[in-house]
Amino acid sequence: MIKNDLFLKALKGETVERPPVWMMRQAGRYLPDFMKLKEKYDFFTRCRTPELATEITVMPINQIGPDAAILFSDILVIPQAMNIEVEMKPGLGPWLPNPVRTTQDVQKVIVPDVHETLGYVMDAIKMTKKELNDEVPLIGFAGSPWTILCYAVQGQGSKNFDIAKKFCFTNPAAAHTLLQKITDTTIAYLKAKVAAGVDAVQIFDSWGGMLSPTDYQIFSWYYIQQIIDALKEETHVIAFGKGCWFALDTMAKSGASALGVDWTCSPLHARYLSGGKITLQGNFDPSRLYSPPAEIKKMVHQMIDEFGKDRYIVNLGHGILPDIPVENARAFVDAVKEYKPR
């Protein structure tokens, strides 16, 4: 039995004394101890070494005290497993030297045996679960097929993913073949994560907001729905689409346990658009963690009041920024723990 099960209760829609809290990218770059490991080991070495991934995952649990842990990994381990080379370049981020741009390129992309290619992730989950000792739940995650396609085709991060969109709109057959391969791999990957011991999974559709509402349904949500359908009987699934407020009504009918909301959509609108019956997660502006701790606490309490304490998980609207002071991150978490319903 998990001792602090607030997060799981919120996902089930149960009444809680206060909402649970965790932060996207909480296992990472704003923590001084993480930066020490970063100086010693390159990014994918940290992802592929279960001992390091475990240490990084548990770090924020001990140092800032959120109600759930999220496994340290990266969404781009999936394309790596699919025969797409991915590097992480300092100062640039993801770099794919041979992007997928043609039908022939798509044919070379494989649907791998995830236990062979991504077994190190499952080892990290088992090790992390042992280290957490049932104190808090552990979240596993994957990128949405559309978001993975964006990197695979663009070859790097982008403000508009114009090359990826051009590929989809000029060669839709190849695009859908690639999306389906990513979807099949992601389903197998997340199922393996559940079998290894994660208590919930989150799908990050970081670049869903790049698409129009119509194209979102065609190139992104169609594939996310397949993942939810495959996983929802086995575990809790959180769907998070950055900039995808326009799809909240569709998402709410998907069978997901919760929906992530970014900071551009107010709590009132998020509740209205999602129908008011599903657990929502979010949506503090990550940049607001630069504010003084007292102001952060005041704003967090206001945010909880607006969302309501039940069917709600306190989080940021996207990942924590690298230069946020640790005391400010702690103030965010402490504000939730100190919250008293009015």
| Residue ranges covered by each domain of the chain | 6-337
Contact 62, 87 (CB under 8 A): no
Q: Which residues of 56-92 are buried (b: 16+ CB within 10 A; e: fewer)?
A: bbbbbbebbbbbbbbbbbbbbbbbbbbebebbeeeee
Tell me which residues of the chain have a pLDDT lower than 70: none
φ, ψ (nearest 5 deg) of residue 236:
-80, 135
**pLDDT on residue 187:** 98
Nearest-angstrom CA–CA distance, 155 and 28: 24
Which residues carry a binding-site annotation for substrate? 25-29, 44, 74, 151, 206, 318
Which pLDDT tens digit goes with each residue over 249-289?
999 999 999 999 999 999 999 999 999 999 999 999 999 99
pLDDT on residue 247: 98
The residue written with tokens 């909301």 in the block is 261
Annotated binding site: 25-29, 44, 74, 151, 206, 318
Q: What are the φ/ψ torsions at residue 130 (nearest 5 degrees)?
A: -65, -40
- Give the pLDDT of residue 70: 98
Q: Regarding the domain delimited by 6-337, which CATH topology (the fold level of the hierarchy) does it fall under?
A: TIM Barrel (3.20.20)
CB 52 within 8 A of CB 124: no
SS3 for the chain is CCCCCHHHHHHHCCCCCCCCECCCCCCCCCCHHHHHHHHHCCHHHHHHCHHHHHHHHHHHHHHCCCCCEECCCCCCHHHHHCCCCCEEECCCEEECCCCCCCHHHHHHCCCCCHHHHCHHHHHHHHHHHHHHCCCCCEEEEEECHHHHHHHHHHCECCCCCHHHHHHHHHCHHHHHHHHHHHHHHHHHHHHHHHHHCCCEEEEEECCHHHCCHHHHHHHHHHHHHHHHHHHCCCCEEEEEECCCHHHHHHHHCCCCCEEEECCCCCHHHHHHHCCCCCEEEEEECHHHHHCCHHHHHHHHHHHHHHHCCCCEEEEECCCCCCCCCHHHHHHHHHHHHCCCCC
Q: Taking the CA of residue 296 as centre, how many other CA atoms within 13 Å lie in the half-sphere pointing to its CB?
A: 27
The pLDDT value given to residue 341: 86
At a CB cut-off of 8 Å and minimum separation 6, what does 166 contact? none
